[in-house]
Amino acid sequence: MRFSDQFEKRFAEMLTHYPTKRSVLVPTLLYAQDEAGFLSDEVIAEIAQRLELTELDVNNVISYYSMLTTKPRGKYNVQVCTNIACMLRGGEELLEQCKDRLGIGHKGTTSDGLFSLEEVECIGACSWAPAIQVNYDFHENLDERKMDAVLDSYRKKAI
């Protein structure tokens, strides 16, 4: 299993921040997932070994955190917030629109592997609702037209 130099640099530095190795686990899993796409058995084994944990320990932690996944996802993970502030301003309609345009449901992935879709809880954009995140990028104050434009921009980016 090979990670980028940046990953290795950050990992080595993080280990110096805490009195226990295990403390780096949660952010490390997320950075590893960003590089590998998902937390495969191989990635889990590698991280467990580096931190002197069992794979079971690592899996237990993974299952707790909603952003961590052991299954492959699309290149762009579209996360639509339907919590209260977004719901009031059309978040549910945006989710329907995404399902329709992408032809997939909650936690589905398009057959070309480009998009995944997820209904998520509040992402901290309530005053700019309705809002979504595509991977880590926020898109806010959306409506039907802007939502289509966002999806298009990622389609173009992929080419």
Nearer to ligand FES by Cβ, of 14 and 123: the residue is 123
Q: Which two tokens stand for residue 81?
A: 């917030």
Q: Which two tokens stand for residue 5?
A: 């130099």
DSSP state of 38: S
Residues 6+ apart with CB under 8 A from 90: 130, 142, 143
CB of 67 to other proteins, least distance (A): 3
User: Is there a contact between 64 and 101 (Cβ–Cβ < 8 Å)?
Assistant: no
Residue 9 or residue 155: which is nearer to other proteins going by CB? 9
137 SS3 class: strand
Q: Is 111 in the site for other proteins (CB under 8 A)?
A: no
Nearer to ligand FES among residue 58 and residue 78 (C-beta): 78
Residues that bind other proteins (CB under 8 A): 17-20, 22-27, 29-30, 51, 60-61, 64-68, 82-85, 87-89, 92-93, 95-96, 121-129, 133, 136-138, 140-141
